[in-house]
Amino acid sequence: MTSSFPGTGPQLTIRTIPKPSDINYNGHIFGGWILSQMDIAGGLAAHQRAGGSVATVAIEGMKFHHPVLVNDLFSVYTNIVKTGRTSLTVHVEVKVMRSGLVDEILVTEGMFVFVRIDENARPVPIASAPAP
């Protein structure tokens, strides 16, 4: 069974500032650092909705639209777009607020799939209703 919870919309899940130690050879923030922040944020959202431990099973449609710079105000937004029997699909967006700009810029997005797991790290059904 698959169901959606329309209307919740993107939720701010993590806000941080990347450090000089996170840059790659281009002087931009390393994609792996961005990806890890997205995985953490998506996992937090999925954990909250599923009411317990989750594991990342797939990451789909990653798109790096623009580079992230040191000292950007880095915000990760999560939106649960699909709930399956044991899985949750979370659309994760990263936006940055940059010095001198008025609006946030969408820099990266992707679709993260998490599976609700038990104490043996095996998939278990999740409740169909949102967690309180």
Ligand X SMILES: CC(C)(COP(=O)(O)OP(=O)(O)OC[C@H]1O[C@@H](n2cnc3c(N)ncnc32)[C@H](O)[C@@H]1OP(=O)(O)O)[C@@H](O)C(=O)NCCC(=O)NCCS
Residues that bind ligand X (CB under 6 A): 55-58, 84-87, 113, 115, 117, 121, 123
Residue nearest to ligand X (CB): 84
- Would you say 46 or 68 has its CB closer to ligand X? 46
CB closer to ligand X, 8 vs 86: 86
Q: How far is the CB of 66 from ligand X (least distance, A)?
A: 27
Least distance in angstroms from the C-beta of 62 to ligand X: 13
Residue 83 CB-half CA count within 13 A: 22
d(CA 70, CA 13): 20
Smallest separation (angstroms) from ligand X to the CB of 58 = 3
Sequential DSSP letters for 40-51:
HHHHHHHHHHHT
Selection from 25, 35, 37, 44 nearest residue 90 by Cα: 44
